[in-house]
A and B are shown apart, each in its own frame.
Chain A
Amino acid sequence: MALKRGRGVAAINYPTGMNLGGDPSQALVHSTPTGSFMVTLSSVDLGQGLRQVMSQICAETIGVPTEAVTIDTADTDTGPHCMGTFASRGTHRIGNAIVQAAREARDVMLEVAAEELEVDAGDLDTDGTGNIHVKGAPQKSISVFDTALAAHFKHGRSISGRGMFLVPRSFPETETGAMKPATCYAHACVVADVEVDDETGDVTVLSVKNVYDVGRALNPKMVEQQLVGGSWMGISHALYETTEPYYPDRDHGGTDFNQYLMPGPGNLADTETIVIERPATDGPYGAKGVGEMCANPQIPAVANAIFDAVGVRVDTMPITPERVLRALKARSQAAPAG
């Protein structure tokens, strides 16, 4: 009886969004009379930071500070259509819709500024701090504030734009069954080191090293936060969490947090997380969806590490001490030692 160490590796390719009958999201952008921008959506911020990232995408596209953008969202009665915030699709689908809407709004803004400055709209650029100027002649400029005022009260124009992003439904080819279920994949690789007590069946994750390809991290700190929390959750899925323990039957299953196991702050594996940025060709500023895939590859990595440590394959989650011990017993019965 001993503590045995093992190492496991796993990789994942994770599609962004889903494709059952087409996967659309829409966005509307308009400016107020004083040059702030409102993005109207019906997409939900679950706490993952959708509002922040959507503000950044809109601000970057129009060429104004992030603080100038307000996200008005999560009312499906009044907002443009969105399939929802799930399948790691938010940044990619909604972000793309906002890019399109914001480009249209920017074009109108530059047209109004061009009339005010008596130049060609194609010669104008934004400085990202709230001003529009002639390329190569920054002294010839007008603020976004004054441009919005002029649009509203002088030109009778709406600085606004419509955005629509659709991944169309993909039908399987009749001969081969081949189809294209996704246009954008995120990737990750995980190495987990574990220690298995072959007497008690206890598994301790000593360390986990994660490498994620996220396309482009639009908000690096928030990406890191999602990845670190996701890595913890992946280990939790691998070893602890279940709503269906079936022991001895469903009536004895957990009903609340007292019986639903998750690792607490005292059970943390040493975690290292590295982000690789390989921009997606169809992502907003290259971003891919990484929300869910960051909690997936730890599970096979831990299972592989357990196999490396004690030579048993446990293919039912979570990998509880009981399941490890049953697997060890089955193996020793199948091939008695000696």
Chain B
Amino acid sequence: MARVPVQFTLNGQERAEFVESGVTLLHALRDTMGDTSPKGGCQQGACGACSVIVDGELRLSCLTLAETCEGASIETAAGLASEGVLHPLQRAIVDGFAAQCGFCTPGMIMAAKTLLDHTPNPTREDVIEAISGNICRCTGYEPIIQAVLTAARSNSQKAG
């Protein structure tokens, strides 16, 4: 298969790589660019563990071809902490014991971040809707819902 150049912004940094044509964004991020925060769970769009944000929208990186992201701005969980300070969502998940094995957590966080970017003060129903495409096997979801609501509150306190 022909290798194709692909250039995009990953967590604020310009990246340019050659990838195999037809390779998924998940594969390109993990195996070519060394960002292993998106996880390959089902690899067919049913579990949400690979979720990333592409140009402000939540996307399943296992169903997205890397070459379709030319010129895009991509955010992953690996880019959330800034100078060693956790993102409010990460902080709330740690403090609220909302991760156990941690495999779903990066995708869960990106789904929640997409929600909070668009809806800074979500209701419980908004949070449930936002994470309903992400499977968690450990927590029973309630701690995650609470963590997202806590992060939203801490964000709005900072803004206020």
Contacts and interface: CB of A to CB of B under 8 A. Distances in A.
Interface of A: 46-49, 221-222, 224-226, 228-233, 256-258, 262, 264-266, 268, 271
Most buried by B among A46, A221, A257: A257
Contacts of B131: 265
A262 B46 CA distance: 12
29 contacts: A47-B101, A47-B103, A48-B100, A221-B97, A222-B97, A224-B97, A225-B100, A225-B143, A228-B139, A228-B142, A229-B139, A231-B140, A232-B139, A232-B140, A232-B142, A233-B137, A233-B140, A256-B46, A257-B46, A257-B47, A258-B44, A258-B46, A264-B128, A264-B135, A264-B141, A265-B127, A265-B144, A268-B140, A271-B142
Contact of A264 (B97, B101, B132): B132
A262 B103 CA distance: 17
Contact of A265 (B97, B100, B132, B138): B132
A93 B133 CA distance: 38
B145 A265 contact: yes
Greatest chain A CB density within 10 A among B42, B131, B137, B142 is at B142
Nearest to A258: B46
Closest 6 CB pairs of A and B: A47-B101, A232-B140, A257-B46, A265-B141, A229-B140, A265-B128
A257 B49 CA distance: 12
Interface in B91-113: 97, 100-103
A222 B103 CA distance: 17
A327 B17 CA distance: 60
Given A256-B42, A256-B46, A271 B102 contact: no
A46 B101 contact: yes
Contacts of B145: 265
A266 B133 CA distance: 11
A324 to B, nearest CB: 24
Contacts of B103: 47
Nearest to A225: B97
Using C-beta atoms within 8 Å of the partner chain, give the interface range for chain B.
Answer: 20 to 34
Given A257-B42, A266-B128, A228 B140 contact: yes
B101 A48 contact: yes
Contacts of B142: 228, 232, 268, 271
Nearest to A224: B97
Interface string B124-160: 0001110110010111111111000000000000000
A222 B100 CA distance: 8
Interface in B7-34: none
Contact of B143 (A48, A228, A233, A258): A228
A307 B65 CA distance: 51
Contacts of A271: 140, 142
Nearest to B101: A47
A222 B139 CA distance: 11
Interface string B33-49: 00000000110101100
A231 B139 CA distance: 9
Find the residue from B97, B140, B144 having the highest chain A CB count within 10 A: B140
A225 B139 contact: yes
Nearest to A47: B101
Contacts of A221: 97
A221 B96 CA distance: 9
Contacts of A226: 100
Among B44, B97, B145, max chain A CB count under 10 A is at: B97
A222 B127 CA distance: 24
A271 B132 CA distance: 19
A186 to B, nearest CB: 19
B143 to A, nearest CB: 7
A76 B41 CA distance: 26
Contacts of A230: 140
A262 B47 CA distance: 12
Contacts of B100: 47-49, 225-226, 229
